[in-house]
A and B are shown apart, each in its own frame.
Chain A
C-alpha cells in the first residue's frame, strides 16, 4: 500500500440505491448515494465512485489510485435465493436420500396453519441424482463409489445446462474420499461447473443440515463468482490497486477469493454492516443495546445490538432454507421507499411487498414509473422537497406522484389524493412496526428498552411513526443514516469461521492431536488474515462438547493455554457451567463423561478503523439553521400544517428543537413529530426523545 492510498470506501449495493461511505485520513467522513443498476450491480458501484471523485475534483482513476481499501456488501446471493433466481444446480448424493433436501426432516414451522405449504427446493427432484457407493457411520467403505454413475449424472447435468453441482454423500464428515473422487470426476467431465463439496463447506455430522448448506452454496456460487469477476475487472479497469473486501453474513469481512469459495457466507452480506455502525453511534451515547431499523428503497431490515455486538441468529435460515453457518439475526420485510400502494380484493389499501426498485422507480422520479409508491406519498404529504431530493440532484415531479396516487389509490377508495397518501404512510409504518416486533416482541424483548437507530434514506421520515406505534421513547438518526450499512463496513473486523469434526471422549483425547488441529485451523485463518492486510490477528478457539449419549453440543470457548497445559479439568468446568446456565442443570456431580464433536476457530483481524469525529459544540438554540417553512401532513392531528424546515448541515451539537418540524440533509430528511424533541449529539447524530424515561 503506497502512502498515497489513504482513502477507504464502504459500498452497500441495495435493490434501489447504492450507498457509499467515504473516509480519508484526517478528514470528516462523507456519504454518497446513487441509483443501483440491478442488471449489473458493479456498474452502480462505479457510478458511486464517480460521484465521490466528482465531489473531490478528481478523475475516477485518480480516486481509484488513492484508495487503499474498498469494503463491499452485496445482495446478489440473497436475491438469488429469495427469488429462486440462482444457478441451475444439480445434486449428487447417496442412493435413497435425495429427497432429504426437499423434505426438510418433515417440519412444518406453522403447526396449526394448513395453508402453509412445502418449501420449493433449490434443486428440483429430477436434478437430484444418486450415485452408488456407501460409507458407514465410522467412515468405513461398505460399497465402493460407482464412477460410471457419476459420469452419467454429469452427462445429464450437461444436457440440462447445469451451472453448479452440489455433492453431499452420507457420512462424508467421517471420511471425504468418495466426495473427493466425485469432485475429481466432475472436474474432468464438466470443467466449467461450479462445485460445492459438503466435506469442504461444512464437514460436520447431520446430513440434512449439510446437504441444505452445500446446495445453497452451489446455488449462489456462479452468481457470486461472475459478480465478483465483473466488479474486480471494473475496479482494475480504473486502476484500483488497493484491497477489496466483501461483507459476510457473520458480521465480518473477507477477501473476494475467500467468499467466492464459500458463497453461502454472503447471504446476508448487504445488511450485515449496519449493526456494527449502529453499535458505534449508540455506544457514543452510552447505550450498549440498540435496535437498528434500515428502510431502503426495497426492503426494511430490523436487527438488534446487544452489549455492543450484533446479535447472531440461532436459526441460520434464509426464507426457510437451512444454512448451518454463523449469520446475524436480521428480520427483513418488503417495505421501502419504492413499495407500491395497491388495493386488494377486499378493497383494503396495501403497501408492498412489490417495489418499483431503481427502475422504473417511484412515479415522482419521472423515469416511467406509474404505480404510486411510499416515496410518492411522502412527497404529496410535503415531507420531501421536490427541488432538494438528494441535494437537488434528482428532481421530483409532484404532479406525477399525485396522478399515480389518484389513479391507483384515491380513485378506487373515493378519497382525496392527500388522504390516500396519508393512508399509504400509515399502512407502511404499521408494516415496518411489525418488522420491529419480529425482532423484539417475538423474542420476548420489550422494544421500548432499546433506542432505535434509524438508517436508510427514507427511514428518518417514518421513524417517529414506527416508534410511536411501539412506544419507543428514543430514536437516534446518525449523520450517516442514509448509508449506515456502508459506514459499518469500514468498522467491521476481518473474520473467518472454521470448523472440523473431531469425535471422541474428552477424557481419552490426545491433546496433542487436538492442539495440532487448532494450530492448523488457526494457521489457515492467520494466512487469510495476513493476505487481507490485517494489522492485528486473534484466534478464538471453541469446542462443541456434550455429555455422553447426548445428541447435541454446547459450544464452549476455551483458552489455547488450557489446551497447551493439557488442562482438561478447566475445559470440563467451562462445559458444566455453560450447560447449567443454558439448560438449568449439569452432571458434574453425577460424574457423566464428556464427548468432543467439533473444534471451532474464529479468526479475527483488526485493521485501522475510522474514528467518528466529534464536532464543535453549539448552543441549545437552533434558529440559525431554520431555512423556511413548508406545508406538510401532521399525522397526529390528521391535517396539514406549516412545519419549520431546518438545514440539517447547519445544526451543531447541543442544538435543540421541538416537533413538529422537518430537518433536511442532502441524503435524508427527518420528520420530528410531537411528542418527540430533537437534540444534536457531539458526533452529529440527531437524537429524538419523548422525554419519558425508558419503561420499566
Chain B
C-alpha cells in the first residue's frame, strides 16, 4: 500500500490497540493463574507477533523474559511451516532453541483470519516447577540441562483445536506440581483472549489496512529509536562487571566485558571479550542475555517508545557461544536470567561517561530465595519465591533519587511483592517484618533507592530453601561522587539457636518449622556529592527512620538532634564547609 494511503491516526490507534490487547492478556494471566509467582508477583510476559514472528507489542512485567518471545516465534513459524492450523497450541521452554530459562514456559497460538495465518499470540511465565532434580527448578548443583529441567522444544499440545492428550500427559508426568497444568491452561486462556481481540481488530479495519499500517508502525518506531541513538555521540565505549561465585568454586569470579559501538542510527553491543562459560548453572542463554541488553538500553531512551520489531531493528548484539552469557549445549543455565544485573552494570559503566544524564548509578543486584514444602494447614505442597524480600533499590539519576524497593533491573518495578495476607493464606509462613531498610541507600546529591528487610517464620518442617543471586560481595555503585548502596544478605536463625548464612547459590534442605528467615536487600547507588543534598531532606529522612543520625553526619555532613529531629544548622554548615 502506498505511503499516501497510510492514516497516521490509525497508526497510533493500532499501536495502542495492540498494547491494550497485550495488557488484557497480561490481566488474564494475573487473574487466573494459581502460583503466587505468577498471580502475585507477575513473573510473566504476554505478546503479539505477526505471521513470521515479528514483535507487534508486548506487556513486559518481567522484561528479561520478553525479548526471547519473538525469536522463538520465528523459530516455530519456520519449523512448522505448512503444518500450522487454526486451533493449534504450542508449548516451548527449550533454552537451546532460543528459550531464555527452563522454568519460563511459553504458549504460542497461531491466529488465523479465514484460512490465512496472520499473527501469533504468546504468553510465558515462570512455572512453579519444571521437573529436573530440584523442586521449583533452581538446582545450584547442576552441570547439564537434564539435571535442571524437562526440555520442551516447540511441541503442539493442541492440533486443530483437539487436545493431544498423550503429549499433555507426557509433559505433566515429568512435572511435580499440579498447579503447573492449571497455570499452563491460564497461558492458553491468555493467548485465546489475545486471539479474539486481535481478530476483532483486524475485522474492524480489514486485513489489508491492518497489514499496511503494521509496517507503518514498525517504520515509525524504528525512526524514533534511531533518533534516540543519534543523541549518543559516535564512538566505542567499554564497560565491565563481575559475576561472583559460580555455585561450585568458592571465590570464583567471571568478567562480563562489553564494547558499545554507536554508529549512524545504530548501536552494537559486543560481548566478545566476556569470560567463558562456567561448569555450573551460572550461565546465560543467548536470549536471556539479549533481553538483558535491550531492557538496559531501553532505560536510556524515551520510555514511551512502542515495543515492536521496529524498536529493536537498530540494536544489534554480539554474544558469542561459549561465553558465560551464551553457554553451549548442554550446559546448565537456570541462573542465566540473573546475569542481567552485572550485564546491565557493564553497559551503564560503558555509557555513563558519555550520557551521564541518561543513566542511573548501580542498581541493587538480585539475591533471592525460593521456599518449598508441604503446607500443614492445607495439606498440599507450596512453592513461593520471596519476591517481597528481594526487591532492593535502584540507582539514582543526575536529577532524581533512586526508586525505593523496586527490585532487580531485569524487572524494573514490574514484578510485585506478594500481598502479605495472601502470603499467609497460601504458604504456612508468618510474616514478621517487611520494612524499608535504614541506611541502605547509597548516599548522594540524589540518593539511591532504599532496600528492605524481610523476616518470616518458616511454617513447615523439612522445608527446602534455594538461594540464588548475587550482590553479597559488591554493592550497587555510586556515580559522580555518589556512594555505594549496601550488600545483600540472607540468614536463617534455626530453633536450636544456630545461624546459617547460605552462599549466593545454595540449596538448603530440612529447614525446620520455627526457623526465622532474615533477608536484607540492599539499596541502590547514589549520584553526585552527598554534601550537596539539601539538609532539610536529610533531616526528614532521619525523622522517618530511613537514615540514622550517624549516617546523616558521616555521609551528608548533616547534624540532626536524635531526640527532637531538629536540624543543627551551625554544626551542619561547619561539617559541610560552608560559611
- Shortest Cβ distance from B6 into chain A, in angstroms? 14
| A125 and B17 contact, CB distance less than 8 A | no
Q: Known: A115-B397, A583-B28. Is A108-B403 also a contact (CB below 8 A)?
A: yes
**Minimum CB distance partner of B418 in chain A:** A105
Cβ 8 A contact of B435, one of A99, A111, A126? A99
| B16 and A115 contact, CB distance less than 8 A | no
A237: interface (CB < 8 Å): no
| A108 and B13 contact, CB distance less than 8 A | no
| A112 and B436 contact, CB distance less than 8 A | no
Cα separation A114 to B348 with both chains bound (whole Å): 13
Cα separation A162 to B371 with both chains bound (whole Å): 42
Cα separation A126 to B542 with both chains bound (whole Å): 10
B39: interface (CB < 8 Å): yes
Cα separation A178 to B423 with both chains bound (whole Å): 21
Cβ 8 A contact of B417, one of A105, A549, A579, A584? A105
Cβ 8 A contact of A114, one of B186, B196, B360, B436? B360
Q: Known: A97-B431, A125-B546. Is A444-B421 also a contact (CB below 8 A)?
A: no
Instruction: List, in ascending order, chain B residues with CB within 8 A of A61's CB.
Output: none
Q: How many A-B residue pairs have CB under 8 A?
A: 194
Instruction: List, in ascending order, chain A residues with CB within 8 A of B388's CB.
Output: 105-106
| A551 and B422 contact, CB distance less than 8 A | yes
Instruction: List, in ascending order, chain A residues with CB within 8 A of B189's CB.
Output: 583-585
Instruction: List, in ascending order, chain B residues with CB within 8 A of A569's CB.
Output: none
Cα separation A524 to B513 with both chains bound (whole Å): 45
| B192 and A585 contact, CB distance less than 8 A | yes
**Minimum CB distance partner of B394 in chain A:** A114
**Minimum CB distance partner of A205 in chain B:** B421
Give the B interface residue count (CB, 8 A). Answer: 85
B164: interface (CB < 8 Å): no
B298: interface (CB < 8 Å): yes
B401: interface (CB < 8 Å): yes
Mask, B379-412, CB within 8 Å of A = 1, is 0000000011001001101011101111100011
| B432 and A551 contact, CB distance less than 8 A | no
Instruction: List, in ascending order, chain A residues with CB within 8 A of B425's CB.
Output: 137, 205
| A552 and B39 contact, CB distance less than 8 A | yes
B235: interface (CB < 8 Å): no
| A584 and B196 contact, CB distance less than 8 A | yes
| B303 and A170 contact, CB distance less than 8 A | no
Instruction: List, in ascending order, chain A residues with CB within 8 A of B20's CB.
Output: 442-444
Q: Interface with B: A116-124, A250-258, A452-460, A615-623, which one?
A: A116-124
**Minimum CB distance partner of B406 in chain A:** A108
Name A550-578 residues within 8 Å CB distance of B: 550-552, 554
Cα separation A111 to B206 with both chains bound (whole Å): 33
Cα separation A579 to B20 with both chains bound (whole Å): 19
B40: interface (CB < 8 Å): yes
Cα separation A103 to B424 with both chains bound (whole Å): 19
| A103 and B452 contact, CB distance less than 8 A | yes
**Minimum CB distance partner of A442 in chain B:** B16
Cα separation A111 to B406 with both chains bound (whole Å): 10
Q: Known: A103-B404, A471-B9. Is A125-B188 also a contact (CB below 8 A)?
A: no
A587: interface (CB < 8 Å): yes
**Minimum CB distance partner of A448 in chain B:** B9
Q: Interface with A: B29-37, B111-119, B140-148, B268-276, which one?
A: B29-37
- Shortest Cβ distance from A60 into chain B, in angstroms? 48
- Shortest Cβ distance from B516 into chain A, in angstroms? 12
| B407 and A106 contact, CB distance less than 8 A | yes
| A584 and B436 contact, CB distance less than 8 A | no
Name B537-565 residues within 8 Å CB distance of A: 543-546
Cα separation A206 to B431 with both chains bound (whole Å): 14
| A170 and B13 contact, CB distance less than 8 A | no
| A444 and B13 contact, CB distance less than 8 A | yes
**Minimum CB distance partner of A206 in chain B:** B419
Q: Known: A106-B406, A106-B407, A110-B303. Is A206-B421 also a contact (CB below 8 A)?
A: yes
B179: interface (CB < 8 Å): yes
Cα separation A582 to B189 with both chains bound (whole Å): 9
A608: interface (CB < 8 Å): no
Interface size range of chain A in the complex? 35 or more
Instruction: List, in ascending order, chain B residues with CB within 8 A of A585's CB.
Output: 185-186, 188-189, 192
| A117 and B403 contact, CB distance less than 8 A | yes
| B185 and A550 contact, CB distance less than 8 A | no
Name A82-113 residues within 8 Å CB distance of B: 95-100, 102-103, 105-113
Mask, A361-383, CB within 8 Å of B = 1, is 00000000000000000000000
**Minimum CB distance partner of B399 in chain A:** A115
**Minimum CB distance partner of B63 in chain A:** A111
Instruction: List, in ascending order, chain B residues with CB within 8 A of A126's CB.
Output: 543-545
| B188 and A584 contact, CB distance less than 8 A | yes
Cα separation A686 to B417 with both chains bound (whole Å): 52
A171: interface (CB < 8 Å): yes
B223: interface (CB < 8 Å): no
Cα separation A479 to B197 with both chains bound (whole Å): 38
Cα separation A502 to B395 with both chains bound (whole Å): 44
Instruction: List, in ascending order, chain A residues with CB within 8 A of B299's CB.
Output: 112-114
**Minimum CB distance partner of B546 in chain A:** A125
Cβ 8 A contact of A111, one of B196, B387, B405, B412? B412
| B179 and A116 contact, CB distance less than 8 A | no
B420: interface (CB < 8 Å): yes
| A112 and B303 contact, CB distance less than 8 A | yes
A441: interface (CB < 8 Å): yes
Instruction: List, in ascending order, chain A residues with CB within 8 A of B434's CB.
Output: 96-97, 99-100, 103
A696: interface (CB < 8 Å): yes
- Shortest Cβ distance from B487 into chain A, in angstroms? 19
| A582 and B28 contact, CB distance less than 8 A | yes
B95: interface (CB < 8 Å): no
- Shortest Cβ distance from B176 into chain A, in angstroms? 15
Mask, A523-561, CB within 8 Å of B = 1, is 000000000000000000000000101111010000000
- Shortest Cβ distance from B256 into chain A, in angstroms? 21
Cα separation A115 to B304 with both chains bound (whole Å): 13
Name A343-393 residues within 8 Å CB distance of B: none
| B432 and A96 contact, CB distance less than 8 A | yes
Cα separation A583 to B416 with both chains bound (whole Å): 21
- Shortest Cβ distance from B284 into chain A, in angstroms? 21
| B19 and A444 contact, CB distance less than 8 A | yes
Instruction: List, in ascending order, chain A residues with CB within 8 A of B352's CB.
Output: none
- Shortest Cβ distance from A109 into chain B, in angstroms? 8
Q: Known: A96-B435, A170-B420, A551-B34. Is A584-B544 also a contact (CB below 8 A)?
A: no
Cα separation A206 to B449 with both chains bound (whole Å): 25
A207: interface (CB < 8 Å): yes
| B412 and A108 contact, CB distance less than 8 A | yes
| A550 and B422 contact, CB distance less than 8 A | no
| A444 and B413 contact, CB distance less than 8 A | no
Cβ 8 A contact of B30, one of A99, A116, A552? A552
**Minimum CB distance partner of B542 in chain A:** A126
Name A291-332 residues within 8 Å CB distance of B: none
| A117 and B400 contact, CB distance less than 8 A | yes
Instruction: List, in ascending order, chain B residues with CB within 8 A of A107's CB.
Output: 413-414, 416
| A207 and B420 contact, CB distance less than 8 A | yes
| A113 and B303 contact, CB distance less than 8 A | yes
Mask, A134-170, CB within 8 Å of B = 1, is 0011000010000000000000000000000000001
| B433 and A171 contact, CB distance less than 8 A | no
Cα separation A379 to B491 with both chains bound (whole Å): 70
4 additional A-B residue pairs with CB within 8 Å, beyond A95-B433, A106-B416, A171-B421: A106-B413, A108-B406, A114-B394, A552-B39
> Which 6 A-B residue pairings sit nearest by Cβ, starting from the closest?
A108-B413, A584-B192, A444-B20, A444-B17, A96-B433, A584-B189
A sample of 20 cross-chain residue pairs with beta-carbon separation below 8 angstroms, ordered by A number, consists of A96-B433, A96-B435, A96-B455, A99-B434, A100-B420, A105-B416, A106-B413, A107-B413, A108-B403, A111-B303, A111-B413, A114-B360, A116-B303, A118-B401, A444-B16, A444-B201, A547-B182, A550-B32, A584-B192, A696-B205
Residue positions of B touching A, CB distance < 8 A? 9-10, 12-13, 16-21, 28, 30-34, 36, 39-40, 60, 63, 179, 182, 185-186, 188-193, 195-196, 201, 204-206, 295, 298-299, 301, 303, 360, 387-388, 391, 394-395, 397, 399-401, 403-407, 411-417, 419-422, 424-426, 430-436, 449, 452, 455, 543-546
